[in-house]
Chains A and B, each alone.
Chain A
Amino acid sequence: MSQTCLDCVERSDRVFCDLEPAALGEFDQIKSLETYPRGTVLFREGQIARGIYLLCRGRVRLSVCSEDGRRLILRTATAGEVLGLSATLAGGLYEVTAEVMEPVQVAEIRRKDLLQFLHEHSDVCLQVVNLLSEDLHEAYDLVRAVGLRNTRQVHSHEARPH
């Protein structure tokens, strides 16, 4: 896997990564590339959002938790997805917990850098709006799935302790 976004061969297939050359060069400057082993928690729900994690390689499990430690798995994020986007933009708390399922490479961008980058590149901002819309569609599907079926079924099949 490439160390720089500029010669990444996967870029054109990924919604967020397929940026214009000027924006891409700048994005490459503000991102920090990290690798994490299986089991790493990238961020936990309730933490103040520090920034976004662009998943270059690997898979990440997204889940929410109840006060008594039961967990509901929302979905598995795959390469090309941007994690922590809505919380970072809103300047709030991460809404979900993101845990590495297999070794990952992620490009991390701090909140301050991301906001400045989006202000300077309106085409990327539009891209982000599109991504958020997709995330929201999925979240509503999940609300429908969880809220409109037997609650007992959800508890027995999906919720499990940490």
Chain B
Amino acid sequence: MLSPYGLDIIESCLTCKMRADRLFCDLPTAALQAFESVKYATAYPKGAVLFVEGQVPRGIFVLCKGRVKLSICASDGKTLILKIAEPGEVLGLSAAVSGKAYELTAETIDPCQVNFVKRDDFLRFLKEHSDACFKVAEQLSEKYNVACHEVRSLGLSHSAAEKLAKLLIEWSSKSGESLKQEPRLKLALTHEEIAQMIGTSRETVTRLFADLKKRQILQAKGSTLVIRNKAALRSLATTG
């Protein structure tokens, strides 16, 4: 079935080909069938807000396709992007489990397919299926790890240059490019969004990129970045 956003919607989890590769979705048949009966498959365009920080939790969102930006906000409107969620992740999990308000805002940055499960249905599902409960514990553990990493990076980095260098190294490692002589990165975020990931201003990010290019550490080829000098970038990531 084709949706208005050009997404090939996976209607049933039972026949989803991606399931085996995804931590939460790879459930035993009984649990999968129970999940199938409580989930709603929905499609969202780019820029849709799934939930807002501070809202009472309605349920969980399993990201099937597309990417979602997770951010937190200060009272003065300053935004910090915590993570870009990839397919397979469950969003709104800890809020739905604890009943406390969503801690983050989730906004789609691509057209997305999301499977939504109402909170009451989800809690009942977890009680009845210990395998799923275990997978939820694993997902929460992973999210906790990311949050600790973020605290360390934000609280203990000397400078914006150090944080940007760390972010670029992390991206190259995630894309499997880190072992190459000159790793390439597809820059999927704007300078404004990168600034929000490392807790600085858009102007600083633009200035840092210009500086890295001038020093031949980075080279831009369209929206692709080439890391020309890995050692220099690594040194920047540890010394600022």
Q: Given the known inter-chain contacts A136-B94, A136-B144, please indicate yes or no for A72 contacting B151, CB distance below 8 A.
A: yes
Does residue B100 face the partner (Cβ distance < 8 Å to A)?
yes
Interface string of B124-140 (1 = CB under 8 A from A): 00110010011011101
Q: Which of B133, B140, B145, B150 has the most CB of A within 10 A?
A: B140
Secondary structure class of chain B's binding surface, majority of residues: helix
Interface residues of A in 71-120 (CB under 8 A from B): 72, 74, 85-87, 89-90, 92, 95-96, 118-119
Bound form: Cα–Cα A139–B144 in Å: 7
Residue pair B137, A128 in contact (C-beta under 8 Å): yes
In Å, the complex CA distance between A107 and B17 comes to: 43
Cβ of B109 < 8 Å from any Cβ of A? no
* Nearest A residue to B160, CB-CB: A151
Does A125 touch B at the CB level, under 8 Å?
yes
Task: Decide: B144 and A95 in contact? CB cutoff 8 A.
Answer: yes
**Contact partner, B156, options A64, A135, A142, A148, Cβ 8 Å:** A64
Contact A86 B133 (CB under 8 A): no
CA of A59 to CA of B82, assembled, Å: 30
CA distance A64 to B133 in the complex (A): 29
Contact with A along B73-92 (1 / 0, CB 8 A): 11000101010000000000
Question: Taking the complex as formed, is A144 at the interface, i.e. its CB lies under 8 A from any CB of chain B?
Answer: yes
Docked-complex contact A72 and B152, CB < 8 angstroms? yes
- Tell me whether A29 is interfacial, beta carbon within 8 Å: no
Indicate which residue in B127, B145, B150 contacts A143 across the interface (CB closer than 8 Å): B150
A-B pair count, CB < 8 Å, reads: 138
Mask for B6-49, Cβ within 8 A of A = 1, else 0?
00000000000000000000000000000000000000000000
**Contact across chains for B151 and A146 when beta carbons are under 8 A apart:** yes
The answer, among B80, B104, B140, B156, for a CB contact under 8 Å with A159, is B156
- B147-167 to A contact mask, C-beta < 8 Å, 1/0: 111111011110000000000
- Let me know if A132 and B141 touch, CB within 8 A: yes
Q: Mark B83-115, 1 if CB is under 8 A from A, else 0.
A: 000000000011101101001100000000000
Q: Are A137 and B151 in contact (CB under 8 A)?
A: no
For B216, the chain A residues whose CB sits under 8 A away are none
Centre residue among A68, A125, A129, A137 by max chain B CB count within 10 A: A129
Interface check B142, CB cutoff 8 A: yes
Taking a contact as CB atoms under 8 Å apart, the answer to whether A134 and B126 are in contact is no
Contact of A133 among B93, B133, B147 (CB under 8 A): B93
Chain A residues lying within 8 Å of B104, measured Cβ to Cβ, are 140
Give Cα A139 to B130, complex, Å: 25
A70 touches B156 (CB 8 A): yes
> Is the Cβ of B103 less than 8 Å from the Cβ of A133?
no
**Pair A118/B134 contact, Cβ less than 8 Å:** yes
* Closest Cβ–Cβ distance, residue B80 to chain A (whole Å): 4
Could you say which of A67, A70, A143, A146 has the most chain B C-beta atoms within 10 Å of its C-beta?
A143
Beyond known contacts A132-B144, A136-B94, A146-B154: 11 more, CB 8 A cutoff: A89-B138, A89-B141, A95-B149, A129-B97, A129-B126, A133-B95, A139-B148, A142-B151, A144-B74, A151-B199, A154-B154
B residues sitting closer than 8 Å to A (CB atoms) are 72-74, 78, 80, 82, 93-95, 97-98, 100, 103-104, 126-127, 130, 133-134, 136-138, 140-145, 147-152, 154-157, 199, 238
A–B complex contacts, Cβ < 8 Å, 10 sampled: A86-B140, A122-B133, A132-B137, A134-B94, A140-B103, A140-B104, A142-B147, A146-B151, A148-B74, A148-B80
